[in-house]
Amino acid sequence: MKNKKNKPQVSIKSLPRLRPSMRREAIHPADYNTYHMPYACEDCSHFASQTTTCTLGLNPAPHLREIQKKNYELSGQMALCRFQEID
């Protein structure tokens, strides 16, 4: 479809996302304050703390403790990693 100036009309809203956005989960404040939940890369067996990397090759940036705490304080939600393992 072309408009009056013969330029193609592209609707940005109709284009699919290349990657789905990260799903964040709401955590009840009482649970957050009562339980010691492993929610950060620093709690995970796959985290290499010296290089701040994930041994599975995932991006640890959204799951680092400092970022998780900041996001939780702002929104009450955290981006929990589905591959987290604790010993």
Q: Is 24 in the site for ligand SF4 (CB under 6 A)?
A: no
In the block, residue with structure tokens 């900041």: 70
Nearest distance in Å: CB 25, ligand SF4: 14
Q: Which helix (H) or strand (E) holds 75?
A: helix 65-75
Burial class (CB in 10 A: 0-12, 13-18, 19+), 76: middle
Nearest distance in Å: CB 38, ligand SF4: 9
State the number of binding residues for ligand SF4 (CB under 6 A). Answer: 12
- Interface region with ligand SF4, contact rule CB under 6 A, candidates 3-11, 20-28, 56-64, 71-79: 56-64
Interface with ligand SF4 (CB under 6 A), residue from 25, 58, 69, 87: 58
Q: Is 46 in the site for ligand SF4 (CB under 6 A)?
A: yes
Distance, CA of 76 to CA of 66 (rounded, Å): 14
Chain positions 61 to 80 lying near ligand SF4, rule: CB under 6 A, are 63
Instruction: Check: CB of residue 83 under 8 Å from CB of residue 58.
Output: yes
